[in-house]
Each structure stands twice: as structure tokens, then as C-alpha cells.
Amino acid sequence: MSYTAQDVVPISEARARLTELSDEVVAGAEKLLTKNGAAYVAIVDARKLDYYHALEEEHASLVLLTEAETGLREILAGRRVSNDELLKALS
């Protein structure tokens, strides 16, 4: 999502407009708050935040599954190390 000029708000201004900004966010906007002219924090709808967190969890699960698949392929191909070799490499 791209931001428009009205979506970028100095944090000092946001203090006075928090209710208004929150209403705009619930209606679909996202607000980028700045501090000393640089991006600082964003205001996003709580439902979107929940969705973003669910995506992160799904991504982490996919990464773990990919690693497990890689490990199984290595074992099936006969490329493995003994427990002793593994412990030695980890220490």
C-alpha cells in the first residue's frame, strides 16, 4: 500500500488528532507517524495487525517445513552425520 501526504502525520500532531486518525484507520487508511521528519510508527487497523501476525506464523511454519523436507531428502540420499559428529560440530 502506498501512502499519500495525508497518511503521513507528525507524531506531535497525532496526539491531538488520535480519535480522528483512528477512525480513518478503521475505515481503511493506514497512518505513518513521523518523529523529527523520519518514519517512526504506524497506525493500522487491529484486524489487519491480527492478519499480519497470522501471515508471520504461516511463514515461519513454511520455513520449518522446508527445512524438515531438506533434512529428509539429505537422509534419503545417504548424506547424514552420526550423533557424535553432530555433537562435536555443535561444541
SS3 of residue 39 by DSSP: strand
Task: Give the pLDDT confidence score for residue 1 in this predicted structure.
Answer: 59
Render pLDDT for 53-90 as a digit per residue (tens, 0 to 9).
999 999 999 999 999 999 889 888 988 888 888 898 88
DSSP state of 1: -
Residue 89 in contact with residue 81, Cβ under 8 Å?
yes
Task: Give the pLDDT confidence score for residue 6 in this predicted structure.
Answer: 78
Q: Which residues pair with 34 in a beta bridge?
A: 10, 39
Task: Give the pLDDT confidence score for residue 81 in this predicted structure.
Answer: 81
Task: Give the pLDDT confidence score for residue 71 in this predicted structure.
Answer: 87
- CA dist list (Å): 36 to 30, 39, 54: 20, 9, 32
Architecture of domain 5-44: 3-Layer(aba) Sandwich (3.40)
